[in-house]
Structure formats: C-alpha cells, structure tokens
Structure 1
C-alpha cells in the first residue's frame, strides 16, 4: 500500500522514522512518501521536503512567513494528488496538517492523525474539524483519551508514548567513550537543550548560558539540533568554555547530571532519561501576550501536565532570568529536591503506557486499510 506521511519538525521526524520502520514490518510492500527529516530519510521512502524548511513558531513568526507556508501547502496538495496514496498519516504539526486533511478528506483520501494536536491546551474548537476531517486518531498522552471520548464523544486509540520506544531502541554509548569522543572532562554534565528552531534558540540560549560561571564544578554542554549549524550557536557563547554536541541529544542526556530545557517535547525526553531539569521558556513579546490570554493550562511542560502537579520547576518569560535559573538549578544538583523529582519520574513513565507505541499504531493503520 501507499503511505504519505507529513511531519513538520524534529520530534515528528523522530516519531515518523519509528512509525515507518513499524509500517515496513507490517506491510513489506509499503511505498512511503513523506515530509520529514534525516531520521525518516534514513529509514527509506522518498523525502519531499525537509522540516527545516517548514519550522515557524509563534503567532508573529507565522504571519511573517505566511507566503512561504501557503506555497508549501500548494506543493503538498499537488504532490499528494500525483502520488495518490491509500492513506495520509499526519504527525502533530496541526497548523499545516489540518489544512491538508480538510482538503484530503474532501478528495476521499483516508486521513489518520498520529500524535494529535494539543487542542486540550488551546483552540479546543478544532475538535469540529478533527471530527470532520480525520478517519482515525491515535493519541499518546493518557489524559487525551478521556478528553476526546468523554468530553467530545470522538473515539480514539491510546497507543502509549513513542518516546519510550525511541529511547529504548537507541544505540547506546558508554560514559567513558562518550566523554573521550566529545573531549569532555570528568566533571558532572549539565545539559543545555535550547530547542531546535532558530527563533527559540535565539530567545533561550543566552539566558541559559548566563549561569555557567556560577557552577565551576560542572561542565555545560549544549545539545545542538540536527537542523542547525554550529556557526549559529557560536554567536551566543561569548568566549565561554562551553562544549557543543550536535545531533546527539540522547547520548548527552544518558550522561547528564541535570539539565536546563526549553519547554516542549524535550522536557519529557529529559524526564524519561531520569535527568532532573529546570524548564525554561521565553517567547516573542507579541506571541506571549496572545498565548497567555488564550491558553488556560496550569503548566507548560509535558512532565507537569501528565502528572497534574509541579514535578519540575517552570520559569516562564520574566521569571526566566539569570537569578532564578541559578537558584532552581542549584536545588536539583543534589539533595531532597533532586530525589523527589527522580521518584516522580518513575511514576510518570508508568503513566505513559510502556513500550510499543509505534508498532501498535502501524498495526492499527494497516489493519484499518486492509478492512
């Protein structure tokens, strides 16, 4: 069968690659065409457009790049028509994917959504479009099943979180080799995860690195995104002795003692590696002012949302400053706060449903098509 997959950012590329592997196991004749990244391309199939050409974040940024976004939608629709897939599998990335899904549904193409948009956070009225435009919905957070089925009377499949698979299936590297390969000393590592898009890195990295000199007994290591070159990060280093490791975030987290993490999927990844973290977030002023008026969630990190309590400290906008980061980072380097976080992480992992999300989703997709 023919599968068309659309993933628009780094996390979608990761989950898309694991889904593709599972689809190829379920359907040996699978013909896959996709929008994604390097990880998906390494599995096989045909890459149409790389996500680095699609990643715009925030309200203002989207408006400024509207012409490019609309042109990408036009290209995508034409490519789908030419390929004529049996199903389109959408992975998160709702602003783009929901536009394509509406069009595809009208064309009579089967539409499956893997990793549903976070309409429980904002834009809950999107439920009308989801009910109208998607044949199947696969959710990865435990509270999402009740949100869709109980609150909105829309049946979904809870498949567990694919990050658990991604972490378990990774190729591991021992600590000694990791430090030698990346020229690291024996000091404990504080990982810096400033995000994957240029806009968020520009907002976050300077303030994250502003505390480096306050922790001389630790070494700070930046997790470079696969979509960005070192030269882009270099402007924020200001001559500080800070290590940089590109496209090896899981290796870094495997060896980290603590982390400063920009809000997003990385907060959950860090927790699943059992690394105590401080969550940091700064958005553009206009984007933030709009967001805080329409998003009513108690927390911004997936860790706290899933646990429905403040397991990790969140420093948002003005609170995300040198003084607060120093205080909160100090708390998680040793002592009772650190131990409490690690205990909560164990509970979190159990809530996420265990291994097998990618395989379960692929099996459900293929079975649905064969019916």
Structure 2
C-alpha cells in the first residue's frame, strides 16, 4: 500500500516514525512518502519536506509567513496527486493538515488523522470540518473520546498515547556512563527544555539560565532540540557552566532530578520519566493576548489537562520570571513535594491507556484501507 504522511513538528516526526514502523509489521510492501523529519526518514521512503522548513510559532509569526505556508499547501497537493496514495495520514499539525484534508476528501482520497487537532482547547467549530473531511480519527488523550463521540456524535478510535511506547522501547541509559561521556559531574541534574522553535527558545532560555547560579548543588543541562543547531544555543550560554546535550532529550530526562519545561508535549514526556517539573510559557505579546481571548482551558500543560487538576506548577507569560521560577524550583526539590508529584505521575500513566498506540493505529488503518 502507498502511504502519504504529513507531520510538521518534532513530536509528529517521533510519533509518525513509530507508526511507520508498526505499518511495516502489518503491510509487507508499504511505500512511504512523507513530510516529517529524521526519525521518519530512518524508517525508509521519501522525505518531501523537513519539518524544520515548516515550523512557525504563534499567530503573528504565522501571519508573517503566510506566503510560504500557501506555497507549501499548493506544492503538497501536487505532490499527493503524483504519488496517488491509498491513504493520506495526517499527524497533528492542524493548520496545514486540515486544509489538505478538505482538498483530499474532495479528490476522493482516504483521509485518516492520527493525533487529533486540539479543538477541545480552541476552534471547537472545526468539528464540522473534521466530520466532513476526515474518514477516520485516532485520538491519544483519554478525554478526547468522549469529546468527539458524546459531545459531537463523531466516532473516533482511542488508541492510547504513543509516548508510552516511545519511552518504553528506548535503549536503557547508564547514568554514570552517560554523565562521563558528556562531561557531567556527580551532582544531580536539572534539565532545561526550552522548546523546539527559535522564537520560543529565545524567550524561555534566558529566564531559565538566569537562576542557575542560585542552585550550586545541582548541574543544569540544556536538552537541545533536533530542529536547532548547537551554535544557536551556545549564543545564550557564554560565560556559564551550563552543559548542552543535543538530540538526546529522553536520555537527559532519564538521568534528571528535576526539570524546567516549556509547555507542549515535553511536559507529558517529563512526567512519564517521573521527573518533577515546572511548566513555563511565554509567547509574543500579540500571540498571547489573542490566545487568552479564544482558548478556554484551565491549564496549559498536558499533565494538568489530563489529570484535570494542578499536578505541576505552570508559570505563564508575566508569571514566568526569575523570581517565580527560582521559588517553584526550590519547591520541586523538596522531598515531601516530590513524593506527592510521583504519586500523581503514576495515576497519570494509568489514565493514558497503556502501551501499543502505534500498533493499534497501524492495524486499524491497514484493516480499513484493505477492507
């Protein structure tokens, strides 16, 4: 079968690569053509565009790059026609993917969506387009099943969260050897995860680094995103003793005692590694004020959203400053607080529905397109 897969971010690259691996187990001769990244490329097939060319953050940044976005949409449609796939699989990235889905449905292609757009957070009226343009939806958060099926009468498949598989299937890391290999000492590690896009890293990392001198009993390690170059991070690190480890976020988390994490998928990844964290977010003034008016959520981190209560502290916009960050980091280093966080993390993992998301999704897709 011929699969055309569109993932536009680092997290999509991870989950789509695991889905491709699972599809190869149910389909003996799969052909892949895709938008994604290095992890997908390792599974074989043809990479059309790398997500590094596609990542625009926030409302104002998207508006500034509209011309590029529309060129990519036009090119994508032409590329799909040439490949003529048996199914198109959309992985998150809704602003782009929903536009392609509308066109693809009209052209008669099968449209499958893995990792739902977060319409429960904003733009709930997108449900009309999803019902019209998406043949099959595979959701990964436990509350999404009820949101779609009960609230909007649109049947979906809850497959569990693919992060459980990604974390469980990774090679084990020996903390001592890893620290030695990367020039770390024996002090406990505090991981810094400032995001994956240049715009957010610039906003987040400066504040994160501003408090490191107040915690001399710990060593801070920046987990560099695969979408950025080492030189970009080094421009923030001049004169500091902070370590930078590129493209090994899971390895860094596996040896970490605590973490400062930019809101996004990384908040859930950190929790699944059982690392107490402070969740941070600061957007541009324009983007934040637009978002505040249209997003109707009590929390911004996936951890708190899934648990429906404040398991981890969120420092948002003006609350994200050196003083607050220092205070909250002290709190998650306290043993009594850590015990409570660990108990909540184990409950969170149970809510996510167990392992096998990629395998379940691959089986459902293959069964549907060969029926």
User: What is the TM-score when the length of structure 2 is the normalising length?
Assistant: 0.99
Write the deviation string for residues 299-346 of structure 1: whole angstroms up to 9, x where unpaired. Answer: 000000000000000000000000000000001112211111111000
**How far does residue 45 in structure 1 lie from its aligned partner after superposition?**
0.9
1:9 paired to 2:9? yes
**How far does residue 50 in structure 1 lie from its aligned partner after superposition?**
0.2
Describe the SS at the equivalent of 1:274: coil
Q: Which aligned pairs between 1:83-102 and structure 2 lie closer than 5 A?
A: 83-102=83-102
Write the deviation string for residues 195-221 of structure 1: whole angstroms up to 9, x where unpaired. Answer: 011111011000011110010000000
User: What is residue 56 of structure 2 aligned with on the other side?
Assistant: 56
User: What is residue 192 of structure 2 aligned with on the other side?
Assistant: 192
User: What is the TM-score when the length of structure 1 is the normalising length?
Assistant: 0.99
Q: Distance in 2 between matches of 1:237 and 1:41?
A: 31
Write the deviation string for residues 262-303 of structure 1: whole angstroms up to 9, x where unpaired. Answer: 000000000000000000000000000000001110000000
User: What is residue 74 of structure 2 aligned with on the other side?
Assistant: 74
User: What is residue 37 of structure 2 aligned with on the other side?
Assistant: 37
Write the deviation string for residues 133-180 of structure 1: whole angstroms up to 9, x where unpaired. Answer: 000000000000000000000000000000000001112221111111
Q: Distance in 1 between matches of 2:219 and 2:132?
A: 51
Write the deviation string for residues 171-193 of structure 1: whole angstroms up to 9, x where unpaired. Answer: 22211111111110000000000
Write the deviation string for residues 21-41 of structure 1: whole angstroms up to 9, x where unpaired. Answer: 000111011111000000000
Write the deviation string for residues 238-258 of structure 1: whole angstroms up to 9, x where unpaired. Answer: 311000000000000000000
User: What is residue 353 of structure 1 aligned with on the other side?
Assistant: 353
User: What is residue 252 of structure 1 aligned with on the other side?
Assistant: 252
Q: Which 10-residue stretch deviates more, 279-288 or 237-246?
A: 237-246
Describe the SS at the equivalent of 2:314: strand
Describe the SS at the equivalent of 2:226: coil
User: What is residue 311 of structure 2 aligned with on the other side?
Assistant: 311
Q: Distance in 1 between matches of 2:29 and 2:61?
A: 40
User: What is residue 128 of structure 1 aligned with on the other side?
Assistant: 128
How large is the RMSD of aligned CA atoms in angstroms? Answer: 0.5
Q: Which 10-residue stretch deviates more, 62-71 or 168-177?
A: 168-177
User: What is residue 142 of structure 1 aligned with on the other side?
Assistant: 142
Structure 1 residues without counterparts, runs of 5 or longer? none
Q: Distance in 1 between matches of 2:182 and 2:354?
A: 32
Describe the SS at the equivalent of 1:15: helix
Q: Distance in 1 between matches of 2:213 and 2:173?
A: 29
User: What is residue 27 of structure 2 aligned with on the other side?
Assistant: 27
